[in-house]
Each structure stands twice: as C-alpha cells, then as structure tokens.
Chain A
C-alpha cells in the first residue's frame, strides 16, 4: 500500500514538474526538429527492451542520450533491461503477441525471426548511411532483408586476440603472426615454453562460437550456400578441422570444458598467454591491482587470416528493431535518428570504451580507437564481421544452428577424438539440415 502511494506521489511530482516547465520544452523541441528528419507523434512515449549493459560507461552514455532526447522532444523513453540470453524469447513473444516493448535492442538474427512484425526502417537507415559514410557490409546484413531494412544495425562487440607480449617474444615472435600457419607455429612455440594459448571448445555462447566460426570461415568453409542448402561437407571444412586439431594439441589442457568466463580467468591468472576476447579482458586486468603488471604486458591483434586471404569473423552483432505494434513509429525513428546523430553516437562509442564497434563507417574515426593501441584491433570488428549462417539467409535456421552449438560441437568432437573428422562433419551436416529443412 505504502509503495503504491509513494509511486503515486512520484508520478504526481513528475507530472507537476512537466507542467511547470512547458515553455522551454516546446522551444527546445522546435529547435531540434530543424535538424531532424522524423518528427515524433503528439504525446508519444516509447519503451525499449535492451540487453543488460556490459560496460557501465556504455549504459551511462546511452541513458544520457536518451535523457537529452526526452528533454528535446518531450517523448518519454522507458528502458527495460534483460540479461542477453533472455532478450530473444522476450522479444519474440512481444513481436508475435503484439504488445510489450516498442523497440528491442537484440542480438544476431533476431529481427529475421519475425521480419513481418517489424517496421520498415529503410528510409531511416538509408538516410543514416548517407550521412555517416555508409554501413559496414557485415552489419548491414543483420539489418537488411531483400533490399529493405527491417532493423537498424547498432554495433559489433569486437573480438580480438589478447596476448602477453613478453611471452610471445620469448617464443621467438617479434611481431604477431598474421596468417593461420604462422599462428599455429606461435601456439606450438608457446606450448614449448610452458606458456600455452587457450580458446574454448566448450559451450561458450560468445567465445566458443566466435572461435568455431573463425576456424571454419578462415579456411573457406560454410554451413550453407546462398540458397540455404547445407554445404558443410567440403574439403575446406575438413581442412579447418585438421587445423583445429593441431591448435588444440598446443592449447592448455581442459579447453573442451571451457564456458565463456574460463578463458578470462585462465588468462588473468597467468595460466594462459594467448586467447581471444572482448576488450573487457584488458579492462578487468587494469582494474585489479594484482593484475596491473599483467595488464601492461597485454597486446591485442586481430585473428589471423587463413587460406581464404581475408579477415572474417563472427563477432557479436546487435541491432535495434521497431515493432509494428508500436503506436508511435515516427517517435521511434526519431529516437534512433537522435541516437545516431554524430554527437550522441560518438559519446556512446566513447562511453563503451572500445567495446562497441560502430555500424556506420564514419564513427570508426572516433578517437577512442586510437587513444590506446589496445583498442585498435577492436576497431576492425565491423569490417571483418560476417553474418551468422554464412552464406545463407539469416533466420530461425541460422539462429537455431548457433544456439544448438552445431559448429562448436563439430570441432570439439573432432579435436577430442570422439569422432573422426569425417564423422564430425557428417553429424554437423545432419544437424544443420534439420534446421534448414
């Protein structure tokens, strides 16, 4: 009862505050409207469902931008957070039931699970692309279907190799290898020195999938072809598995049980000298006095280039979609336009301290990418990003294949010797075929 009353009082106070200051609001709104393409509907309010932030500065910047948007336009934006694994089911239900949040900030292929329930944002995205140097192709792929934008690409969460400079030098490598062959040699040399590398072969949602997709793609493998027909059973896949086997032999023992946090833990404890992770690994090393020294020894690099001759990675990709049940689609578009305005987007990217790699090319000029050499490889994420389920279309099939760890399992089965390379591929072929039936 008392809570209700308190809530009531609070709302009352808020209403009072708003009614006291009507003039500046209106004036500011009209001032802002000059630079904006989209004008919010009268009396609009929005609800955004987003993943729980990983970086405090990112959340602060996003909320500050939102606050400024509310002050400029009078549109209230409520932001709900869900842990990142829960965003998918919640958003899918909201899309299909037709109520709940107006917008969702989600991962990977989510917009392609319910494309007909989303507001077409081609006008907004075309305008944003023209203004800001164009979209990166990979991230564009997460927003565009049949030439129409169904979702606004937001960012890639960059993945890069983090290594101990002194250990790599001690292993006889003055510069970090850029090809998969040299990289294997480095890992083998590291193992000989007793400072091995480690990448997860276990059910690590983020790190495990990043690693498995890089293994496959860098060797020219693909799960399905452009038509969505299973195309995993190729010599390229077999080559990727053979390469993985050699890498696995050079890793610290136990990587097949690693979940997302294990590589961070092993790296920070000094047990592993090389792994791949988001920039968060460097920052957690910096934060703790015990690992400050280790942090000074950290260097980062992009994952090596394989036989296909170009840098390709999965990374984590996020987009923002507007549901058709949103009563104020123009307000939602205006909100996104606001968030993507140079000042606001740059503030957000800086707040995320190299964690979020922008989807629009001009924002890669943000000083955050050059402020610290550690950040530099992460700035390449949007460029090397390749959409999940390559080369097929995005949708429930590609999402299901990743969530069921089909690729991770394929590599793990083969490297641990549970199945022969051929059997592991055949098993993956069956499972992929099930999702793409």
Chain B
C-alpha cells in the first residue's frame, strides 16, 4: 500500500516539473474557456443549421434541407447581396476616410491630443444610441437634413431616407461609416507612429515627392497594420446587427436586411432556430474568405520588403 501513493506523487511531481506538463497546465484554463464559450456554441450553431429545431424544441437532422430552401429564397439572396454591398462599400469608405484622418492627425497640429480624443467619440458611444440618433436624422417626417434643405429651398419634400431601397442602403452605410471611421483612424494612426521619421527624411533627401514617399515608404510599412485593422473592420461590418435593427429592421421590403438581421428575425421572433442558424452558418465562408484574403494577400512579406 505505501508505495502506491509515493509513485503517484512522483508522477505528479514529474508532470508539474516537466516543461510540457507545466505548460499544458497553464494553458488548460484558456483552453477550457475557448472550448466552452467559442467552440461549443459555434459547433452547436452549425449542428442546428442541419436540423429543423424550433425555439425550445429539439430538432431532428434534416441534412441540407434548410440550405436547399435558402438557395431558393429570394429574401435570403437579397440579404446576401445587401450584406456584401454594405460591407464592401462601408469598408472601402471607412478605410479611405480613416487613413486620410490618420494622416492628418499624424501631423503636428495644435491641440493634437484633444482632436484624437474627439475622433474616438463615435466609436465610444454605444451603437444603439448612435443608431437612435441616426433614426431621427433619417426619419421620413422629422429628418433634420430634410428640414434644413427645405428651409433653404433646395427641396420641397422631405427625403425618403429609409423608404426607398437605394437611399435606405446608402443611409445605413453612412451611419455605419460614421461609426466605424474612428476605429480605423486611430489604429492606423498608431501604425503611422511606429514608422521611423528618418526613412521619410532619407527619401525626401533622395528627391522623392510627397506622393512617392507615401506610396513607397509609408504605405508598405503600414500594410501589416492595415491588414489587421481592415480584417477587423470587415468582420464588424459584415456581422453588423444593431444599427440595421434599430433603423429599419431590414425594411423597406427587406432592402436593408443583412444576413445577421434575417437570421435573428427567422430564428428568435419567428421561432425557426434551424433556419436562422443555417443563415448564420452561411456567413462563415464569407468571413473566412475575408480573413484569408487579408492574411495571405496583404501580409505577404515579400511585397512589404520589396524583395525576397
């Protein structure tokens, strides 16, 4: 009897004292956390997409039935188009305006820190609150924009911001861009500040124009940051929910329904958990593509360093 606990103790001791064993122990909490709160819900979502589960009722396996129905559902395809359009346009605008803002803020301005703090405001305000503000700005009767334009005599009737499909799409994109710019701008500003000033000076001495210095020095050095920032920005935009839900609930006639909002509408109020999950799962390929593009496309070291 006595030797057995001794043996165990020694195994435990050997385990904790070995590099790998100890490392495994230290990683265990993080691994458990990821498994419980990331892998499990994701796996469950994928599983639900293959069932006809309703809220509170276990579903049975129905294979690809949900996806076959969605393939044939114009509302779903409209939401795919809306999501891609919304993400592409909003991301390009956010990148362009954000980079521009970052370059401006990187100069020596008076009250530089104050400006930088103010820039962050749209990002700091909770989405629902800023969405509510935009809801009033875009209201079909009480829009401040319409009101001003009518007072100036430019238009005679309020603009139907959220009523016409295309103005509604542009309106929600405008709200999203307003909200997303600070994140891009501040992150790129951080990137800009890591670029040594001496490189720019050296290029200037060699006779490079400001545009050449931007494209040949600043931009290549900024690419890794751009890749990370834009990956996040695209992911946030692609999965946007609150803004649409507050502004339009996907209307008019589903013209602004994103995949995320359609998934919610069908799954929770509609009770069709399986179909909602299938719509959510259908977002994954797009998201993976965005991530792969940024990692393999933008982060190629060769391109960054010019050679090798």
Contacts and interface: CB of A to CB of B under 8 A. Distances in A.
A403 B165 contact: no
Interface string B282-295: 00000000000000
Contacts of B272: 400, 435
Contacts of B161: 257
A138 to B, nearest CB: 22
Contacts of A266: 140-141
A257 B248 contact: yes
A403 B269 contact: yes
A3 B88 CA distance: 50
Given A93-B55, A254-B158, A416-B253, A203 B141 contact: no
B272 to A, nearest CB: 6
Interface in A95-131: 95-97, 113-114
B196 interface: no
Nearest to B254: A409
B252 A92 contact: no
Interface string B267-278: 011111000000
B265 A253 contact: no
A419 to B, nearest CB: 9
- A interface, over-half SS: helix
Nearest to A86: B268
Given A85-B269, A412-B252, A96 B57 contact: yes
Interface string A390-418: 00000010011001110001001100101
B122 interface: no
Given A114-B56, A203-B249, A418-B253, A254 B141 contact: yes
A262 B139 contact: yes
B271 A257 contact: no
A427 interface: yes
B116 interface: no
B141 A427 contact: no
Nearest to B275: A434
Contact of A265 (B57, B141, B254): B141
B238 to A, nearest CB: 22
Nearest to A203: B249
A253 B157 contact: yes
A89 interface: yes
A68 interface: no
Contacts of B54: 92, 113, 396
Contacts of B251: 202-203, 256-257, 259, 412
A265 B142 contact: yes
Nearest to A271: B141
Contacts of B270: 399-400, 403-404
B140 A399 contact: no
Interface string A336-355: 00000000000000000000
Interface in B50-95: 54-57, 69, 73-75
Given A255-B163, A403-B271, A203 B250 contact: yes
Interface in A236-257: 252-257
A400 B265 CA distance: 10
A140 interface: no
Given A403-B265, A403-B271, A416-B252, A258 B56 contact: no
Contacts, number: 117
Nearest to A200: B251
Contacts of B165: 418
Given A257-B168, A427-B74, A97 B248 contact: no
Nearest to B267: A89
B111 to A, nearest CB: 39
Interface in B136-187: 139-142, 157-158, 160-163, 165, 168
B266 interface: yes
B253 A413 contact: yes
A203 B270 CA distance: 14
A170 interface: no
Interface residues of A, number: 45
A88 B57 CA distance: 13
A205 B251 CA distance: 12
A269 interface: yes
Nearest to B55: A92
B266 A404 contact: yes
A88 B271 contact: yes
Contacts of B271: 88-89, 92, 113, 396, 399-400, 403
Contact of B253 (A113, A254, A271, A412): A412
A416 B251 CA distance: 12
B58 to A, nearest CB: 8
Contacts of A262: 139-141
Given A96-B56, A114-B56, A258-B140, A253 B269 contact: no
A405 B73 CA distance: 15
A400 B54 CA distance: 10
A122 to B, nearest CB: 24
Contact of A89 (B160, B266, B268): B268
A107 to B, nearest CB: 11
Nearest to A419: B253
Contacts of A257: 140, 160-163, 168, 248, 251-252
A96 B139 CA distance: 41
Nearest to B261: A203
Given A254-B158, A396-B54, A412-B252, A88 B140 contact: no
A97 to B, nearest CB: 7
Nearest to B138: A257
Contacts of A403: 265-266, 269-271
Given A202-B252, A403-B270, A412-B253, A253 B160 contact: yes
A253 B55 contact: no
The 4 A-B pairs at the shortest CB distance, nearest first, are namely: A254-B140, A92-B56, A257-B162, A96-B56
Given A95-B56, A257-B252, A416-B252, 7 more contacts: A253-B157, A254-B158, A262-B141, A272-B141, A399-B270, A409-B75, A431-B73
Interface of A: 85, 88-89, 92-97, 113-114, 201-203, 205, 252-259, 262, 265-266, 269, 271-272, 396, 399-400, 403-405, 409, 412-413, 416, 418, 427, 430-431, 434-435
Interface of B: 54-57, 69, 73-75, 139-142, 157-158, 160-163, 165, 168, 248-254, 265-266, 268-272
12 contacts: A253-B140, A254-B141, A254-B158, A257-B248, A259-B249, A266-B141, A403-B265, A403-B266, A403-B269, A405-B265, A412-B253, A413-B253
